[in-house]
């Protein structure tokens, strides 16, 4: 039995739209699942969960999977359940209409709070520009949830950025032994790194690693002013270079920076004993070299 009934309609979804720019970069960056911002329908909060290469199954990679998830349920009774009929939409940018994928009524509850379509559309059909769903590598998904009357529609824009080469920057940190609590870099180049501006190095460690490890963090100086649903995804590598650079103290991570997550890094980047060991070459003449490679991969914003 098919997961959904498919039809075409002219009117846009009543509750939610999300535009994903540079859709192919989701797969390229290893982002196998994207969760949209929340929207309200029927006095409940929901979000779409998009799997660009399909949800885990035997045909992973051949289809795009899209699910509707209920969120914000912590205030509901322990035995809560919500029955809803929902539709997921894909905008045809050539014909200016929507393909509507409508499922049967489903029961959302604590054990099963996400329903959707594992094979909503094949990757072949989506990526064929003559079909109109993916144009200039951008596509638009939408949703309607029928619990009670339609609520105000919410919209967000996901911009995935193609960065040919990571931005690189090195610092020479002099008088390392004289550093006190923290060393802070100058702002990174703003047109390359967007909101990600500063590196902070704690020579004697931070938090539970104080006195044991050197701690290093990348800070977003503007993310605390982000709207609740705005975020920036960055892929970055931080290095402490040894002399003659045959070995590196290095770590890499990818993270979404939000109003709640304004910094990310490593409390235990390198043991202080290793950092100060003269035979390992991280500190020479009381100086060390700190380097960063950073790529801003995506920005989620609320359109004006």
5-160: CATH architecture:
Sandwich (2.60)
The model's pLDDT over 73-85, given as tens digits with 9 standing for 90+, comes to: 888 887 788 999 9
CATH 2.60.210.10 placement within the chain: 5-160, 167-301
Query: Which residues are CB-neighbours of 81 under 8 A, at least 6 positions away?
Result: 107, 108, 109
Q: How far apart, in Å, are the Cα atoms of 144 and each of 101, 211, 236?
A: 10, 54, 37
The secondary structure element, H or E, covering residue 98 is strand 97-102
**pLDDT above 70 (res 245):** no
Mark 180-218 as b/e (b = at least 16 C-beta within 10 Å): eeebebeebeeeebbbbbbbbbbbbbbeebeeebbbbbb
**pLDDT above 80 (res 160):** yes
Q: What is the CATH number of domain 167-301?
A: 2.60.210.10
**pLDDT above 50 (res 189):** yes
Q: How far apart, in Å, are the Cα atoms of 301 and each of 226, 227, 265?
A: 9, 8, 24
Compute the average pLDDT of residues 113-142.
95
Which pLDDT score, from 0 to 100, does residue 203 have? 94
The span from the CA of 162 to the CA of 160, in Å, is: 7
Whether residue 172 is preceded by a cis peptide bond, meaning omega within 30 degrees of 0, is no
Mean pLDDT over all residues of the chain? 87
pLDDT category at 223 given cuts 50, 70, 90 is confident
Residue 164 structure tokens: 């040919």
The model's pLDDT over 32-65, given as tens digits with 9 standing for 90+, comes to: 999 999 999 988 999 999 999 998 654 557 899 9
Lowest-confidence segment of 17-26, 160-169, 185-194, 208-217 by average pLDDT: 185-194
């Amino acid at each position: 039995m098919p997961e959904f009934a498919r039809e075409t309609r002219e009117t846009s979804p009543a509750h939610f739209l999300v535009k994903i720019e540079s859709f192919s970069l989701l797969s390229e960056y290893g982002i196998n699942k994207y969760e949209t911002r929340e929207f309200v329908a029927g006095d409940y909060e929901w979000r779409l969960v998009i799997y660009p290469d399909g949800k885990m199954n035997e045909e992973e990679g051949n289809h795009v999977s899209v699910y509707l998830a209920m969120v914000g349920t912590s205030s509901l009774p322990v035995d809560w359940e919500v029955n809803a009929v929902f539709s997921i939409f894909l905008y045809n940018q050539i014909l200016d209409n929507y393909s509507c994928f409508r499922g049967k009524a489903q029961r959302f509850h604590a054990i099963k709070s996400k329903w959707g379509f594992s094979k909503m559309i094949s990757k072949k059909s989506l990526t064929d520009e003559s079909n109109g769903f993916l144009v200039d590598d951008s596509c638009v998904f939408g949703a309607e949830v029928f619990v009670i009357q339609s609520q105000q529609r919410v919209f967000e824009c996901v911009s995935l950025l193609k960065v040919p080469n990571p931005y690189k920057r090195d610092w020479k940190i002099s008088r390392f032994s004289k550093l006190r609590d923290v060393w802070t870099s100058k702002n990174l180049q703003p047109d390359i790194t967007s909101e990600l501006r500063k590196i902070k190095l704690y020579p004697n460690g931070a938090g539970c690693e104080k006195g044991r490890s050197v701690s290093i963090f990348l800070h977003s100086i503007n993310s605390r002013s982000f709207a609740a649903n705005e975020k920036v995804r960055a892929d970055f590598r931080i290095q402490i270079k040894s002399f003659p650079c045959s070995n590196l103290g290095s770590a890499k991570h990818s993270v979404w920076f939000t109003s709640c997550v304004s910094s990310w890094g490593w409390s235990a980047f390198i043991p202080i004993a290793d950092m100060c060991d003269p035979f390992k070459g991280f500190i020479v003449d009381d100086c060390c070299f700190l380097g960063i490679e950073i790529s801003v991969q995506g920005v989620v914003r609320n359109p004006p």
